[in-house]
Structure 1
Amino acid sequence: MTADTLATWQTDGIVWSLEYARGVVYVGGTFNKVRPPGAKPGQQEVARKNFAAFDAATGRLLPCAPSFTGGGNTVRALKASPNGRVLYVGGSFGNVGKAGAASAVAIDTAGCSLRKDFRPTMSSFVRAIDVTNDAVYLGGDFTLVNGQDRERIAAFTPSGKLLPFQAEIDAPVRAILAAPKFGKIIVGGDFFLLNGQLEKSLGALHPVTGKTVNSYADWLPPRSSVKALAGDETNFYVAAEGAGTGIFDGRIAGRLGDGKMVWKDTCMGATQAVAVHKGVLYSGSHAHDCRDTPGGFTEYHNRQHFLAQSVRNRHILHWFPDTDGGTGEGNGPRVLKMAGEVLWAGGEFTTVNGRPQQSLTRFSPGPDRGAPEEVPQLKASASASGRVTLTWRATWDRDDAELKYLIYRDGRLVASPTRRSAEWNRPTMKFTDSVAPGSRHRYRIAVTDGKNTSLKSKALVVSAVADERPKEKH
């Protein structure tokens, strides 16, 4: 991915959930209106009540717009069936359009119509959904489903019949990852107890019975919880958030097959979202103090709200688009979703890469359009005859670690040194030029990532030291 954003619509509230199916990206959250790329709050707004749909290729707003109202007035979970024909929606709502509902429904994606068969009655919030060919799994705060005991997780047939699958979970489920190939459903959340055993915030259940099939009891400390899960062909990935001292805020990779841990990073910063694509784990958090994670950084003045890591060894890659914390709890990104080759991100942010953009954005593989972030300021010393030494602080680029510095003397390129850098690692650089003693020159500098070049700096006028050797007598 490049760190450059694609033009994307915005919402006037928080985006909690994203799903991609059949060329459409569905957005769920707590919002009343959406507006076009670049529009300020209150401008060109279109009504969309907690749900919106966009063309995944162009980003165009689509007419699919059922309103989700009542209850907690929010959509928290979206998941499509494996064939993309049905979109399952969960949250806290009492109505979908004019139809009554109880926090979970299904929509036919072809016509954006509410299905009549999938209409469970949930006693409280639905926060997570995953779907297989045989079952729809819902997790959240509820303890009753259709009047029957179901403690924070339940399973249905795709047509809405409640299945006997049952587990005892003592606190909300916030994430579900179905892995039927491996005979398990991985669940994460705020809980301590799973089926009567201590399973802090993470466990794996049998997809038919709900019995525990894998334990991860020692993966998370007491004051940390799981906010999101993602998976690829072999691994699953955990996003964790903690509060207080001795907590874990980062990401964990585990094997789907045997349940063994692959790696665990140590970044602080309340990870809210993860998505995996082509060997890279993307995450949304407010990462800081990543000093013990390969490729990471020590505590510094900023918080980094997006990260990319190698799924093989947790190494942090040089991909640093960023948001602000935004509204609500100030966590910035809340959800990530791959739509083909494009990464969509939603949350409570109000800026992306320093520019206004509320709650929704997206990134693509290219082309890279972003020049390095700053133009260095040159300083010069001329302490020896005909020698001019220029110094400057390295700049940085959001998606290129190695930059080339173009040094011009009197409009002519005279040097092009390269150096690796990041926002938190900007070393001092130096170049010594040889000119005629006593001559006067104008120096400027620009920076390129190989495709995009910054503007040139203001000219720095330097007079070289004159030759002070005594003249020969004749």
Structure 2
Amino acid sequence: MTASTVVLLAAASLTSAFGSQARDVKVLRTEKTPRGERTLTAAPLATWQTDGIVWSVEYARGVVYVGGTFDNVRPPGAKPGRKQVARKNFAAFDALTGKLLPCAHSFTKGAGTVRALKASRDGKVLYVGGSFDRVDGTGVSSATALNTADCSLRRDFRPAVAAPVRAIETTDTTVYLAGDFTVVDGQERRRVAAFSRSGTLLPFKADVDGPVRAILAASDRGQVLVGGKFHHVNGQPEQALVSLSPTTGSTVKSFHDWLPERSAVTSLTRNGDRFYLGAEGEGTGIFDGRIAGRLSDGTMVWKDTCLGATQDVVVYKGVLYSASHAHYCGLTPGGFPDGPRRHFLAESVSDRSILHWFPDTDDGIGEGVGPRTLVMAGNVLWAGGEFTAVNGRPQQGLTRFGTGPGDTAPQAAPRLTARRTHAGKVTLAWRATWDRDDAELTYRIYRDGVLVASPKRRSVEWDRPDMTYTDSVPPGSHHRYTIAATDGRHTTHRSEPLDVTA
């Protein structure tokens, strides 16, 4: 055993221990909604960065794995090109601390990109897909697997896939690959294929006429959901979503009229009998948002009406988090009018209401869609994508959000004006500010440095109400007023003073 192997094994052991801690992290602070859901904080935790696009993130046994199109990673806060560590399209991080781990392989040739990561149900194996022909010095063909215990490349799972793999799903016995391919191991497999965990191609076979971008196995419901950019499956019209037999690939359920012709399913996730999908479309009359359905009978539970493509969805404690670039959700409860892109959303799984959780990124590089992929690692949401800034500050490729502490502060102190003064009365006016993860803020009003009032009001970025406060003072007296906004943990600086004569 080499010295580097000893270091790697030690790191794997440590991260397993850290992983158990991550799963037991106590909820220190989250925003509780009127319906009782609690969102994560909107303040990002310190996170390593990439110098390119992150297409997939996955969590297993205390480690978060990252795949994409990049050459290097760099520490939190480091500027592009500074303090870089070589990682060719694949990297691993401690899920709790965020520390870079020595688990590293170089995925190259072909398009040289990792598009899909999925752990086995027991967390012992990490399956990797994309468009690559080599892992370090070993020849592969767009799919392979690693042992999570020591980060070693497995010898048994090396299918020959003739085109990019875009999604992977696992059960206790089966590994499903999905993507653009039509041939696997020399046999026809049109966009989806199934393997034993040891890499043997299984009889499962479906005829899908377009790329598959998401796959979700529900063996206990006797089905595998497949989503993507297709119109027909097994010779029948199936727009972007279909349910297949886990063993044969025959059609089990159809979802007619769920999605229009120019929309595609980008992501699928499950919580009990519910499944959730994210979609994107091009042109008019498309669907870009999220749908909740029931696995048991294939019925739709709800459908939001947001515009701005959804790239990924994940459920955590009654909240559906999504990576998107939504710019209009005006017809969805809690939604917003048409305006700037909002790259993260949180919705109640019970009624699709948009919750008060608004961290944000820029559009970034590549296609300019911001975040592309999400995974929950214990109590922490990891997100990867094309972005180069989070909440207005430089941060490229990766970010993460926890349950606290470190939530965001109100955006700025309001500006006071004197609406009127008469007979010993001073009426102050200001416009409410807003906070990324607290809907209700308290406004502390000071007269001559002494706190005289603390009114409260709910607000969001697109709806900041005008507020007033009338103070009683001796007629003819002179006073200096200031105001600050607080969410109970963070308080803005006091405003510029306003001098008033009553």
Task: Compute the TM-score of the two structures, normalised by the length of structure 2.
Answer: 0.91
Q: Does 1:427 pair with 2:465? A: yes
- Asked if 1 retains the 8 angstrom alpha-carbon contact of 2:161 and 2:184, the reply is yes
Which residue of the partner structure matches residue 132 of structure 2?
93
Which residue of the partner structure matches residue 116 of structure 2?
77
Q: Which residue of the other structure, out of 424, 432, 442, is the alignment partner of 1:386?
A: 424
Which residue of the partner structure matches residue 292 of structure 2?
253
- Asked if 1 retains the 8 angstrom alpha-carbon contact of 2:320 and 2:346, the reply is yes
Tell me by how many angstroms 1:65 deviates. Answer: 0.5
The letter for the 2-side match of 1:338 is M
Q: Measure, in 1, the Cα distance between the counterparts of 2:419 and 2:403.
A: 43
Q: Measure, in 2, the Cα distance between the counterparts of 1:382 and 1:115.
A: 76
Q: How does 1:106-255 map to 2 (within 5 A)?
A: 106-255=145-294
Q: Which runs of 5+ in 2 are unaligned?
A: 1-39
Which residue of the partner structure matches residue 467 of structure 1?
none
Q: Does 1:405 pair with 2:428? A: no
Deviates further, 227-236 or 165-174: 227-236
User: Residue 168 of structure 2 aligns to a residue in which SS?
Assistant: strand
* Cα deviations by residue, 1:185-208 (Å, 9 ceiling, x for unpaired): 000000000111110000010000
Tell me by how many angstroms 1:368 deviates. Answer: 4.3
Which residue of the partner structure matches residue 472 of structure 1?
none
> Which one has the bigger helix percentage?
2
Q: Does 1:340 pair with 2:378? A: yes
- Asked if 1 retains the 8 angstrom alpha-carbon contact of 2:93 and 2:100, the reply is yes
Q: Measure, in 2, the Cα distance between the counterparts of 1:154 and 1:18.
A: 22
Which residue of the partner structure matches residue 13 of structure 1?
52
* Cα deviations by residue, 1:171-196 (Å, 9 ceiling, x for unpaired): 10000011111111000000000111
What's the % identity of the aligned pairs? 67
Moved runs in structure 1, 4+ residues, more than 4 A? none
Tell me by how many angstroms 1:289 deviates. Answer: 1.5
Tell me by how many angstroms 1:230 deviates. Answer: 0.8
Which residue of the partner structure matches residue 438 of structure 1?
476
Which residue of the partner structure matches residue 282 of structure 1?
321
Tell me by how many angstroms 1:359 deviates. Answer: 1.0
Q: Which residue of the other structure, out of 304, 308, 314, is the alignment partner of 1:265?
A: 304
User: Residue 220 of structure 2 aligns to a residue in which SS?
Assistant: helix
- Asked if 1 retains the 8 angstrom alpha-carbon contact of 2:407 and 2:437, the reply is no
- Asked if 1 retains the 8 angstrom alpha-carbon contact of 2:274 and 2:295, the reply is yes
Q: Which runs of 5+ in 1 are unaligned?
A: 465-474
- Asked if 1 retains the 8 angstrom alpha-carbon contact of 2:482 and 2:495, the reply is yes
Which residue of the partner structure matches residue 311 of structure 1?
349
Tell me by how many angstroms 1:381 deviates. Answer: 3.5
Which residue of the partner structure matches residue 24 of structure 2?
none
User: Residue 93 of structure 2 aligns to a residue in which SS?
Assistant: strand
- Asked if 2 retains the 8 angstrom alpha-carbon contact of 1:235 and 1:256, the reply is yes
User: Residue 310 of structure 2 aligns to a residue in which SS?
Assistant: coil
- Asked if 2 retains the 8 angstrom alpha-carbon contact of 1:36 and 1:44, the reply is yes
Which residue of the partner structure matches residue 452 of structure 2?
414
User: Residue 181 of structure 1 aligns to a residue in which SS?
Assistant: helix
Q: Measure, in 1, the Cα distance between the counterparts of 2:49 and 2:309.
A: 24
Q: Which residue of the other structure, out of 479, 483, 489, is the alignment partner of 1:451?
A: 489
- Rg comparison, structure with higher value: 1
Q: Which has the higher contact order (CA 8 A, sep 6+)?
A: 2
The letter for the 1-side match of 2:351 is N
The letter for the 1-side match of 2:472 is S
* Cα deviations by residue, 1:30-67 (Å, 9 ceiling, x for unpaired): 00000000000000000000000000010000000000
Tell me by how many angstroms 1:385 deviates. Answer: 2.1
Task: Compute the TM-score of the two structures, normalised by the length of structure 1.
Answer: 0.97
Tell me by how many angstroms 1:367 deviates. Answer: 1.7
- Asked if 2 retains the 8 angstrom alpha-carbon contact of 1:5 and 1:364, the reply is yes
Q: Measure, in 1, the Cα distance between the counterparts of 2:358 and 2:199.
A: 42
Q: Measure, in 1, the Cα distance between the counterparts of 2:463 and 2:412.
A: 14
Q: Measure, in 2, the Cα distance between the counterparts of 1:370 and 1:272.
A: 25
- Asked if 1 retains the 8 angstrom alpha-carbon contact of 2:166 and 2:180, the reply is yes
